[in-house]
């Protein structure tokens, strides 16, 4: 049986993060039918006081009125946190014009908050990467509220896991070892262990793969896009490579 492709959603082997460690992490949410509540759908990352970046597949099928963004969230089950989360409606979404539902190329979207957010210790933006920095061999951290195992339970606390970034050729080879021919163009970036065990999973997609730069600040290396199963050997997680889209992002959010 073919492994399920977790394309419509998408941390295994990680651990609970600490409150405020990843202040740009966003919960991309869908409103209920009557709009009284919202449920977590995907991750996202805060770029500035007005814009969130996420995966195209996370919002492409939703009306702007159905999308809500929650910033500063940590534990879905707790109402007593050091600083509260802030939830906002949105008034604009820009799915990348070349987004391809079948290949998951250009799987990016920018979403504008209805009103600007005020930064606080648990709400702050992430930096963008240099235009074309090679990240092969570096470690990235993936964060999200996705499933803890394939088809498994959802955590209430934001999870984190560190994964190595592999070259696209190595990525193709890994998939081949697992018996799959996958198309991995330059705009994709793969991260994961040959032996598996640590990965993003359903519910994480749209969220950030963040890398600590030489200056000690984190920048956005990738946006989690798709994977086959979760944390299986030779099936790395695949992100949209943000360095290929820095200029597109800046054109739209500044």
C-beta neighbour count of 153 within 10 angstroms: 8
Catalytic site includes residue 57? yes
Nearest residue to 7 via CA among 174, 221, 200, 198: 200
Using the 8-state DSSP alphabet, how is residue 155 labeled?
Answer: P
Give the separation between CA 12 and CA 195, rounded to whole angstroms. Answer: 13
Catalytically annotated residue among 57, 96, 200, 204: 57
Nearest residue to 157 via CA among 10, 11, 17, 13: 17
Task: Tell the burial category of 34 from Cβ atoms under 10 Å away from its Cβ (0-12, 13-18, 19+).
Answer: exposed
Backbone φ, ψ for residue 30 (5° rounding): -110, 130
CA atoms within 13 A on the CB side of 199: 29
Catalytically annotated residue among 27, 107, 200, 243: 107
Catalytically annotated residue among 17, 205, 225, 243: 205
Nearest residue to 96 via CA among 87, 114, 108: 108
Backbone φ, ψ for residue 141 (5° rounding): -115, 130
Using the 8-state DSSP alphabet, how is residue 115 labeled?
Answer: S
Catalytic site includes residue 107? yes
Decide: 211 and 47 in contact? Cβ < 8 Å: no
List active site positions: 57, 107, 205
């Amino acid at each position: 049986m073919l492994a399920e492709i977790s394309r419509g959603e998408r941390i295994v082997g990680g651990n609970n993060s600490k409150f405020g460690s990843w202040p740009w992490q966003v919960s991309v949410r869908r409103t209920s039918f009557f709009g009284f509540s919202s449920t977590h759908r995907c991750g996202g990352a805060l770029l500035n006081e007005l814009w969130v970046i996420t995966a195209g597949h996370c919002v492409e099928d939703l009306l702007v009125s159905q999308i809500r963004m929650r910033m500063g969230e940590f534990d879905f089950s707790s109402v007593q946190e050091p600083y509260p989360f802030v939830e906002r409606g949105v008034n604009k979404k820009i799915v990348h014009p070349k987004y391809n539902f079948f290949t998951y190329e250009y799987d990016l979207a920018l979403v504008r908050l209805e009103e600007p957010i005020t930064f606080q210790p648990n709400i702050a933006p992430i930096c963008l990467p240099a235009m074309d920095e090679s990240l092969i061999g570096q470690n990235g951290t993936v964060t999200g509220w996705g499933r803890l195992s394939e088809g498994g339970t959802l955590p209430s606390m934001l999870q984190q896991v560190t994964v190595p970034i592999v070259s696209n050729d190595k990525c193709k080879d890994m998939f081949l070892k697992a018996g799959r021919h996958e198309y991995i163009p330059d705009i994709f970036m793969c991260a994961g262990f040959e032996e598996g065990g640590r990965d993003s999973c359903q519910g994480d997609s749209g969220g950030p793969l963040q890398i600590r730069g030489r200056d000690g600040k984190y920048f956005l290396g990738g946006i989690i896009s798709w994977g086959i199963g979760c944390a299986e050997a030779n099936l790395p997680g695949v992100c949209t490579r943000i360095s290929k889209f820095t200029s597109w992002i800046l054109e739209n959010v500044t």
